[in-house]
A and B are shown apart, each in its own frame.
Chain A
Amino acid sequence: MAASMKNIFQPVSRLLLRKNPGLSVVCTRGSVYDQSYLETSKTLEEIKRPLAEDDIRRFRKIKAANTDDNTFADSDVVVGKLINMITKCGRKEVARDIVMKALEYVKRVQVEKYHKASDEEKTLIVLDPVKILHQAIENGKPLLITCRVTMSGQKHLVPIAPSERRQNFLSLKWLVSAGGDKPHRVRFHDKLGQEILNAFNEEGGLIQRKQEMHKICEAHKAYAHLK
């Protein structure tokens, strides 16, 4: 019920929400799109996959694509997320520039290594920076995280298994913070590139952060039953 309601409803009045507490309608403040609009399909594969007969996208209006939504070869979901995380004060162009330079740095290092390597070593070197970034994020995902639980007035750190979404978020967040931890003269994009490479090789700030988290979880494993 909630799903179908969501599609029909304009922003719902408080009165209705109060009378029907069962409705889980997200009241979006001031969105110009009414709720019948669907999100765009972002990746090329998603767009080009044939639509099923009863696919909802056939019948509904689609939101307009954002300015940075495109299907060029350099577009990637994880890179997009990273850009969004680095953005400050809405200056996305700066963030995009930083991430692109960081990825270029990764590529420079790898390509140089590739050309200097012998033939056998060449096959082992990963050159695609996007693949490297994906692997780095994968490596940085924590298996356990802590959350605060208040029991009888005392707060405890309780280790829990995070969701996939949360894992990705933390990994990206730690990557960015590891990139920010640098001497004054070093440029952020270079440090970020280094961190990506380091995490790809299972070392560096991101991995350290993950291990710290695991250690904390280990220390608080006594409270694991709380949640």
Chain B
Amino acid sequence: MKRSIISYRSYCQLLRLWSSKSARVGSSSVCCVKDNIVTSLPACFQLTVPPGRSYCTSTENVDEEEDVIEDDIDDVGPTIPVFQHRTNLPAKFRTQHDDPTKFSLEDVGLYYKVSPEDYKKYIQSGQWPGYKKQVKTFTEATVMVRQPALEVLDIIENANYDYPPLRLFFYGKVGTGKSMSLSHVVQHCGHQGMLTIHIPDFNELIRHRTSGVRPHAPSEYTDGLIDYTDDALNWLQYFKLQNEELLKKLNIKTTKEYVWSARDSTPVGSDILDLLSFGLERKKYSSDCIGAMFREIKKAANEKRVKVLVAIDGVNGLWKNTTIKDSEKKIINAQKVSTIQHFHKLFEHNWSNGICVGTLCPSVEAINNTMYENKMDVPYTPQYLLKKEGFDYMDPFVPIIVSEYNFKEAHNCIDYYIERKWIQSPRSLTESGKKEIMMLANMNPLQLMTISGRF
């Protein structure tokens, strides 16, 4: 096993903060590199090792469940917040406030509550179905503040917007929270007054649904492209949901006359919202409407009227083959789809006052891929997912890893589930029971969510 120190600054800064708070936590976090497989060894695992050969003779008695919770605290270390069952102290796995724009590194690993409107606007789409069920069951939407999201937000806040947009991509194993981090970023930027162009799930755009064939037609604007009007329409609705208020405020006017057909046209100087509503009304033109809108938004951004966030979940899907076939029964590449082509153009360097964030998603790669039975087996590294074409186009970009929970985060997660009465088995409420769940789930957020359902 080869060990190397993770070199990026912010993580070290985070750790410094962390270690200053707790004397017993080890001074450095190490990353284990095992044959290209990245697993982070959480800092909290560097606890002091008891001297001599230690037998762990846990007193696992089901009757004493409630007492054990507090007894075992010494085992773990003083800094790890333990949910206190009987006392009325505020739970330590929640943030002090719920404002998404004001989180610092100290809030890493803590949950914040998302208001129902924000949940609908920014978080809901693109998450795993299990998360949506969880929100329904828990009757509240919460998101954990995590370090990768904060790292991206740090770059976004301090970026110089006079220059062509930066490209920041989350990458990581399946279920580690890439989409969630992206949603967090989108919510943050939405609150900061940025225009958000957000694709919550790229799978939707390239995967053929089992129920019914998607209506498609050759594009009228560009030869050789194909319109998927339903996708475009859905996305326009989502865009309207996220940005309607902002667009009303900005009052962006079109700079060019768009002639859709002999009868329909959008004159110069009409509001961009009109363009949007036209796309929504006339399904046939919704795809072209997106292109027109992006053109206007880019122009407005260049004029520094608005900052733009482009957030695409599953950027590697831009070059994927879709599961859809054209009239000649040939598989269509995503590049041939006009809507996707419009998003593709947002990554060009010909505009400024914007920033591009995305995730590199193994589950998008798993579509149509016969090499891997399970999408958990698909490699998650950026170059593999982007392939040569994508890497050549996107390079240089900033890859940001989203790893599994560290000990603190996993502990908070389980404590949160216990508080929400999701974990019920009496033995799982003990400290050793919690560790067992963590071990089984390998501290993977998605697996923690699914496995905790059994306990």
Partner-B contacts on A (CB < 8 A): 44, 48, 72-74, 100, 103-104, 107-108, 111-112, 114-116, 127-130
Contacts and interface: CB of A to CB of B under 8 A. Distances in A.
B428 interface: yes
Given A108-B137, A116-B139, A127 B454 contact: no
B454 A100 contact: yes
B425 A128 contact: yes
B136 A112 contact: yes
A44 B424 contact: no
B163 interface: no
Contacts, number: 48
A127 B424 contact: yes
B60 A128 contact: no
B455 A73 contact: yes
Contacts of A127: 421, 424
B433 interface: yes
B454 A128 contact: no
B453 A104 contact: yes
B425 to A, nearest CB: 4
A129 B137 contact: no
Nearest to A96: B454
B348 interface: no
18 contacts: A72-B436, A72-B440, A73-B425, A73-B433, A74-B454, A100-B453, A107-B424, A107-B453, A108-B137, A111-B137, A111-B138, A111-B420, A112-B137, A115-B137, A127-B424, A128-B424, A128-B425, A129-B424
Contacts of A103: 453-454
Nearest to A74: B454
Given A107-B424, A108-B133, A127-B424, A74 B139 contact: no
Given A73-B428, A130-B425, A115 B138 contact: yes
Contact of A111 (B421, B428, B436): B421
B425 A74 contact: yes
A212 B133 CA distance: 37
Contacts of A108: 133, 136-137
A104 B454 contact: yes
Contacts of B428: 73
Given A108-B137, A111-B422, A129-B424, A44 B454 contact: no
Contact of A107 (B422, B427, B436): B422
A122 to B, nearest CB: 9
Nearest to A45: B62
A114 B421 contact: yes
Query: Sorted from nearest, which 5 A-B pairs have the closest CB atoms?
Result: A73-B427, A73-B425, A104-B453, A128-B424, A115-B139
Contacts of A48: 60
A111 B425 CA distance: 14
Contacts of A114: 421
Interface in B313-330: none
Interface string B427-450: 110000100100010000000000
Contacts of A111: 137-138, 420-422
Interface in B104-138: 133, 136-138
A226 B317 CA distance: 74
B87 to A, nearest CB: 18
Nearest to A115: B139
A13 B1 CA distance: 57
Nearest to A101: B453
A130 B60 CA distance: 20
A108 B139 CA distance: 11
A57 to B, nearest CB: 21
Interface string B25-49: 0000000000000000000000000
B421 A74 contact: no
B139 A112 contact: yes
A108 B133 CA distance: 8
A212 to B, nearest CB: 33
Nearest to A109: B137
Interface string B152-188: 0000000000000000000000000000000000000
Contacts of A44: 60
A72 B455 CA distance: 9
Chain B CB count within 10 A is highest, among A72, A112, A115, A128, for A72
A48 B59 CA distance: 11
B98 to A, nearest CB: 18
Contacts of B137: 108, 111-112, 115
B85 to A, nearest CB: 15
